[in-house]
Amino acid sequence: MDALDLARWQFGVTTVYHFLFVPLTIGLGIFVAGLQTAWHRTGKEHYLRLTKFFGKLFLINFAMGVVTGLVQEFQFGMNWSEYSTFVGDVFGAPLAMEALLAFFLESTFLGLWIFGWDRLPKRIHLACIWAATIGSNLSAYFILAANAWMKHPVGYEVVDGRARMTDLWAVLTNSTALAQVPHVIAASFVIAGGFVIAVSGYRITRERRMAADADATVPFTRAARGRVAARLTGDPAMWRSSLRAALVMTAIAGAVVAGSGDLSGQYLREQQPMKLAAAEGLRHDEKGAPFSPVPGIEVPNMLSLLAAHDPGAEVQGIDDIQRRYEQRFGPGDYVPNLPVVYWSFRVMTGFGLSTVGLSLLGLWLTRRRRPAPEWFARICLLALPLPTLAMIAGWLLSEIGRQPWTVQGELLTAASVSPGVSLSEVAISLAIFTALYGVLAIAEARLLVRYVKAGPEPVETPLEPRLPDDIDAQAARLAPTLMY
């Protein structure tokens, strides 16, 4: 164990952790903006309640994405100073653009949205959540363009041992980025959709049970009736609408994930053949290469079909690539961790496709005003862990599959680490971040569960019969719920 190993562990731990929160920020932000837009368009109160409810969950999660992102920006310099010096000219540009063009937008307009409910005109307030969430999505584009450059460096030349950018447009329109950006953003929508499916399914089950309890204990006194009424802040039509919307979002985004994933696979064959070979454990160059969904079952020609859309195409094998890389780059081990890459590919595709399957099943079961069956409302909870695990596996495939390179063909991970940082320093920082992140994960999970259990804020029933609300009156009655 040396500083390099620990620095890699730290990068892995902090990045996977950071990316548990970011997809929810990206996808749930758009979902909340959509709900608020629906409220504006229709004036239906349940859209406002859903906006506030999911808005609160969104904010609990948002904080974690922001603060863990700070670590990401700093640790390139802290742990990977040789990497940073080598790539900064190219890699730093999208990072600086991310801060300038995306993070300012996101944070400033989110602040306006949180505190502007009763201070901004309604349309401007709606525009704020859209501006914030466009900022989140834009930030994903820039960081993914930077990440894609590590896998497929373009638009640069190496001068005096440092990469020099020659074409920013090439970096921003890297084919790898153009496949990866929709893949990751759509996957974020799947995760956010899964989150809403899980929450809605849970609320449906819980409110049905509460309603059954209320029927069983006939409330004789006015106080008891009041208590039951207070507990029944629920609204089956409301949860049905959030469930359906999330099912549609998940199904459509799932299709985009699959399509862009297929495109990424095509690029792998040309740009990172070792990662492709490792994902199948293919030892030797082979025409019409087979694919094994699980070990022991082999579908002939399937890998060639997946990777080249041609059942007879040649796919390079691990041992042959190793031999060619040794000739090209000198002696060394150019093979990534095979079991991790092999299994992460299967977890990613398997769990990802199951999530899409779950959403299609849900759409079928709830078609034409049908209520969600009890058993389906219960398995909705799976929609949270399944896509999350798929996404973690996707990142492991992507980043461990790139090893031993930080920049494919240009810079080895072993040559990227900070020379002046000692083993004990990295150990201390890894320990601090792991402990802090662990505590915060528990706190965040408890907070989310508490708010999901509590449900949306009840609507105050006015004493006097009144005319139908306009949206300003609705907003005034629900206003303070998102304040500090």
Partner 1 sequence: MELTTFWFLVIAFLWTGYFVLEGFDFGVGALLPVLSRGEGERRQMLATIGPVWDGNEVWLITAVGAMFAAFPAWYARLLSGFYLPLVMVLAGLIVRGVALEWRGKVEGRERALCDAGIVAGSVLTAFLWGAIFGNLLYGTMAATVLGGALSLTLAVVHGAVFVALKTTGPLRARARHTALAVSVAALPVAIVALPALPGAGAANAAWTSHPVLWLAALAAMIALASAVALIWRRREGWAFTATAASIVLVTGTLFGTLWREPLPGLTVAEAASGPYTLGVMTWIGLIALPFVLAYQGWTYWVFRRRVTA
- Label each residue of 19-56 as H, E or C: HHHHHHHHHHHHHHHHHHHHHHHHCCHHHHHHHHHHHH
**Candidate residues 281, 365, 451, 477; the one interacting with partner 1 per rule CB under 8 A:** 451
Please check whether residue 109 is in contact with residue 129, taking contact to mean a CB–CB distance below 8 angstroms. yes
162 binds partner 1 (CB under 8 A): yes
**Candidate residues 96, 445, 473, 479; the one interacting with partner 1 per rule CB under 8 A:** 96
Stretch that binds partner 1, among 104-112, 249-257, 296-304, 349-357 (CB under 8 A): 104-112
CB of 99 to partner 1, least distance (A): 4
Give the separation between CA 463 and CA 286, rounded to whole angstroms. 77
**Candidate residues 447, 459, 471, 475; the one interacting with partner 1 per rule CB under 8 A:** 447
DSSP states of 165-178: ES-HHHHHT-HHHH
CB of 59 to partner 1, least distance (A): 6
CB of 424 to partner 1, least distance (A): 10
* Pattern 215-254, partner 1, x by CB under 8 A: ----------------------------------------
Give the separation between CA 135 and CA 51, rounded to whole angstroms. 19
101 binds partner 1 (CB under 8 A): yes
Please check whether residue 80 is in contact with residue 407, taking contact to mean a CB–CB distance below 8 angstroms. no
Stretch that binds partner 1, among 69-77, 188-196, 244-252, 351-359 (CB under 8 A): 69-77
E strand map for 229-284: none
Residue that the structure tokens 């906006």 belong to = 51
User: Nearer Cβ to partner 1, position 112 or 246?
Assistant: 112
11 binds partner 1 (CB under 8 A): no
Angle at CA 263, nearest 5°, toward 261 and 269? 105
Site for partner 1 in 367-406 (CB under 8 A): none
CB of 437 to partner 1, least distance (A): 9
Give the separation between CA 84 and CA 274, rounded to whole angstroms. 24
**Candidate residues 36, 79, 304, 403; the one interacting with partner 1 per rule CB under 8 A:** 79
For residue 411, the SS3 value is: strand
411-412 vs 314-315, strand pairing mode:
unpaired
Q: Would you state the structure tokens that stand for residue 217, as one six-digit string? A: 């204990």
Looking at this protein, which amino acid is placed at residue 335?
V
Stretch that binds partner 1, among 190-198, 257-265, 366-374, 432-440 (CB under 8 A): 432-440
CA atoms within 13 A on the CB side of 60: 18
Instruction: List, in sequence order, the alpha helices (H) in 165-235.
Output: 168-172, 175-216, 222-231
* Pattern 118-147, partner 1, x by CB under 8 A: -xx---------------------------
**Candidate residues 15, 37, 166, 266; the one interacting with partner 1 per rule CB under 8 A:** 166
Looking at this protein, which amino acid is placed at residue 34?
G
CB of 63 to partner 1, least distance (A): 3
* Pattern 311-340, partner 1, x by CB under 8 A: ------------------------------
Stretch that binds partner 1, among 105-113, 192-200, 258-266, 319-327 (CB under 8 A): 105-113
